[in-house]
């Protein structure tokens, strides 16, 4: 649609628009902010991939899933707030957002798929909402600056490992959570 419109700086989504299709604004290298309004109910994969100057994204109340590669390689994005209406975050949604320092995952999110925040080199703080049930392996792979992961619900977590079997997880210490999660690979963290 508008992918690779290198001079595009601003986008206003009309109130009649219900869907934003695959790669619609990918590689719009001058785009600095983007808002998905509440009237949009479907967002395709990789819609904002490689928008190198993108700094802020606001996610409306109409969508339920953050799609595959949603903000992949958006190098200047500093923070993401995933609202409570989102129930799932798909693979590689925020991968390679190198400047991202903080992620707030809303209470509606129940699952986060593999690699969603991998290679976010500056990511240091994550707050995970009440209802998350599953964290897939390599979620924070190569997030070398991750120092704090706070779980709003610390009860009933366990670790499934292809190599080591199952074990209980004490999710009460944000610093210990960060240390464990940034090294998690080929494993899954679940809540009973």
**pTM (2 decimals)?**
0.88
Distance CA 186, CA 192 (A): 20
Q: State both tokens at 56.
A: 């802020």
Residue 76 confidence (pLDDT): 96
Span 140-161, pLDDT tens digits = 888 989 999 998 988 777 766 6
Span 152-187, pLDDT tens digits = 988 777 766 655 566 677 788 888 888 877 776 556
């Amino acid at each position: 649609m508008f992918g690779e419109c290198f001079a595009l700086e601003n986008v206003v989504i009309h109130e009649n628009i219900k869907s934003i299709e695959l790669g619609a604004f990918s590689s719009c290298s001058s785009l600095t902010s983007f808002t998905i309004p509440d009237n949009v109910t479907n967002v395709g994969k990789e819609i904002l991939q490689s928008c190198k100057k993108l700094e802020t994204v606001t996610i409306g109340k109409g969508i339920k899933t953050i799609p595959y590669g949603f903000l992949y390689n958006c190098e200047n994005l500093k923070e993401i707030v995933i609202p409570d209406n989102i129930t799932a975050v798909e693979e590689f949604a925020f991968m390679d957002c190198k400047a991202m320092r903080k992620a707030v995952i809303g209470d509606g999110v129940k699952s986060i798929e593999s690699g969603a925040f991998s290679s976010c080199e500056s990511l240091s703080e994550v707050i995970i909402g009440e209802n998350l049930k599953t964290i897939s392996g390599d979620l924070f792979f190569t997030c070398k600056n991750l120092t704090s992961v706070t779980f709003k619900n610390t009860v009933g977590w366990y670790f499934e490992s292809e190599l080591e079997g199952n074990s209980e997880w004490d999710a009460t210490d944000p610093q210990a959570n960060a240390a464990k999660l940034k090294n998690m690979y080929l494993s899954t963290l679940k809540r009973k």
